[in-house]
Structure 1
């Protein structure tokens, strides 16, 4: 016979607030948009080598491995700058509503991803990826804000974990498309697939209602300081700066590993004697494994955060990222038969890469409704600017050192810095979402 506390806990779990149709539709709209966002982001990593091999000669440059690596870093840095500029969506969402602006972000990244398929030079591809980045960068902030506000208090924490799986399901989808469409029809076909999110943006705009929290806030709003100024007021300045720093750490570490992972696997597979098409397919399989690990990490995170708190959870995930990225790129990459140890470590790296789910849970808890989307968008954008700078640095290091592994392994240092910053963040375990 269960004890009284066990009985209460069981009853509480079985009495979770049911989701209404609007909340369910809204979640799937946000999740699908985030999935296609992840697919769009990772398409570039998967088609980097073939796209630049074709476009560099058309732009007046030899398609040497060094030039492909340098151009790839520069183009990815431009993409991250576009992501960084996506903070503009936050104030718009606080002013005009979550769903309309969410639909606009999805529409933006889908259109410019499709246009990337028409690129005839490296410069054109860079411009399209920059503009797509502006749309992609806004989706996470608005989707995370929407789910936090729309779902009941007793379910929103797991909702954050569920939402974040979408991005890495997108990685898996991109890998599957590359294994089939990309391997058969080439890199342009991969970018054309990126137009599909337009349909999602239309559904989000037409079918999903605004959150009650936002509508109540608008109904009772008085003339206030702009949201962008408010997040740097005395009330929020420290939270904003700490959250932006922690997100910068997460973005630098995971993106460096994830973006260069396909190239690393292709190099290792070729070194192991695989033909180029088989090496490309092996990169797709490795990406799928990375994605599965991250999805599991996202789902595991909310219960851990509820048990040990937000700060300790992020510390555990940051330590896991530092160790796995250092071992994968600094050790396994240089083994004489390192392909399979490297791929095995990618699963571990993926699991701890699920740390992004914590921000979907934690950031909304730190800010009121009137500034929530702005704060979320700003904090996620800052890291992308620094990520762009780091990618320029990585590209230069790869060119100078003539190797991919060590420059990526060194990004593990960012997580050590993150561990020192975590104690300055507020612990919101057990607190309700601010009104």
Structure 2
């Protein structure tokens, strides 16, 4: 009796094994997403030294206020590029996941490398804009690919594993800045962003197209996927997902974009030399990344236990508290560096809320429109985020402080708590064909 119970338990816990193609595909998607995260965060780390050099060449004084404003404008341009990355979704629904995934990686890698050649802020802005178009598409296609290619009993955890790649990229960028950036400058940092070209080639040559897409393609009647996700069947879930993703993207500024600048300011205030302040920012970024990876890994089991909506509510509430605690309180303490970095761990953990969208969005849409829906929802948030980021930069300039404007982004997560109930709960449901 005891033996039969043990046998049944082992069978229940045994997971469907992954084949070579699924493993290779995951690592290709994960590596692309890692290098995507590295590319995104390189800009945040090199923002101050790059603009300090390029603003005078562009006819502007490199004052802290001008650096903050120019940085916000350039990041807004980058987010507009992210928003235009919607084009990759319909292409992936029409031509397949792997070819288009490789195309996104090629785009962001080449134009990140070209950013190293910038002679003024205008050139840097153009390169970052086009790189943003590539970077924005990678998440939608990597998330769609893993959801469709992994077995049903493993794809939820696969979403959590995939999302760790983006923050592993943050950690990689911080490590490169600590070792390479400090000694060789911001241009070499951008050059390291060209490395993903190799990953794109491997994805194109080694990774097989998903069976779900091939089946959907074979039986599909040609329709407009964009028209379909705006139709009666999907309209509500499309717009609710857009709003929730917009809120998560707004939170990126607290968790990523402004964190290095805040740490550098606090470290300088504490009496550190310039290079030591940059190293401290890199270490703080590493801590933030580790915490976010832990948050990504903790999220799928929680989503399976209490549901998608309650899990997102927990993470949104955590983000609101952590943003206020770090930028609204610790940033203004007389000796705020250590408390601020401690709050970064909490901020990083709940920043893992993005892993839920990698798990949840594919569950809400059928295969024939899945990549389009994923790309549209993420792109919408980036367009709105670009406008909010511009306002945030103007607020920093007007108020002559970084902390309060960033702390106010916590309000977005409070609003999100009232939007979550309108989303569909997909706990226990299989990925729709």
TM-score tier after normalising by the smaller chain length? over 0.9
2:346 counterpart residue number: 348
Deviation at 1:11, TM superposition (A): 2.9
2:132 counterpart residue number: 133
Cα separation, 2, equivalents of 1:94 and 1:126: 30
**Residue deviations 1:198-220 (CA, integer Å, cap 9, x gap):** 00000000000000000001111
2:380 counterpart residue number: 382
Deviation at 1:256, TM superposition (A): 3.7
Q: Does 1:365 align with 2:363?
A: yes
Q: Give unmatched runs, 5+ long, in structure 2.
A: none
**Residue deviations 1:95-152 (CA, integer Å, cap 9, x gap):** 0000000000000000000000000000000000000000000000000000000000
CA contact (8 A) 2:254 2:323 kept: no
**Residue deviations 1:24-79 (CA, integer Å, cap 9, x gap):** 00000000000000000000000000000000000000000000000000000000
Cα separation, 2, equivalents of 1:257 and 1:249: 13
2:431 counterpart residue number: 433
Change (3 A) 1:401 1:211: same
2:265 counterpart residue number: 267
Please give the secondary structure, in 2, of the residue aligned with 1:18. coil
Runs of 4+ aligned structure 1 residues displaced above 6 Å come to 1-7
1:257 counterpart residue number: 255
Cα separation, 1, equivalents of 2:56 and 2:292: 37
Cα separation, 2, equivalents of 1:266 and 1:67: 17
Cα separation, 1, equivalents of 2:417 and 2:362: 21
Cα separation, 1, equivalents of 2:341 and 2:4: 47
Change (3 A) 1:5 1:262: farther
**Residue deviations 1:80-106 (CA, integer Å, cap 9, x gap):** 000000010000000000000000000
1:12 counterpart residue number: 12
Q: Does 1:105 align with 2:101?
A: no
**Residue deviations 1:364-423 (CA, integer Å, cap 9, x gap):** 000000000000000011111111111101110110100000000000000011110000
2:158 counterpart residue number: 159
CA contact (8 A) 2:255 2:348 kept: no
Change (3 A) 1:9 1:347: farther
TM-score, normalization by structure 1: 0.98
1:164-179 alignment, distance < 5 Å? 164-179=163-178
Deviation at 1:255, TM superposition (A): 2.9
TM-score, normalization by structure 2: 0.98
Cα separation, 2, equivalents of 1:51 and 1:281: 16
Please give the secondary structure, in 2, of the residue aligned with 1:429. coil
Q: Give unmatched runs, 5+ long, in structure 1.
A: none
Deviation at 1:8, TM superposition (A): 4.5
Cα separation, 1, equivalents of 2:373 and 2:264: 39
Q: How many residues align?
A: 433
1:77 counterpart residue number: 76
Cα separation, 1, equivalents of 2:271 and 2:277: 9
Change (3 A) 1:9 1:367: farther
Cα separation, 1, equivalents of 2:98 and 2:383: 26
Please give the secondary structure, in 2, of the residue aligned with 1:331. helix
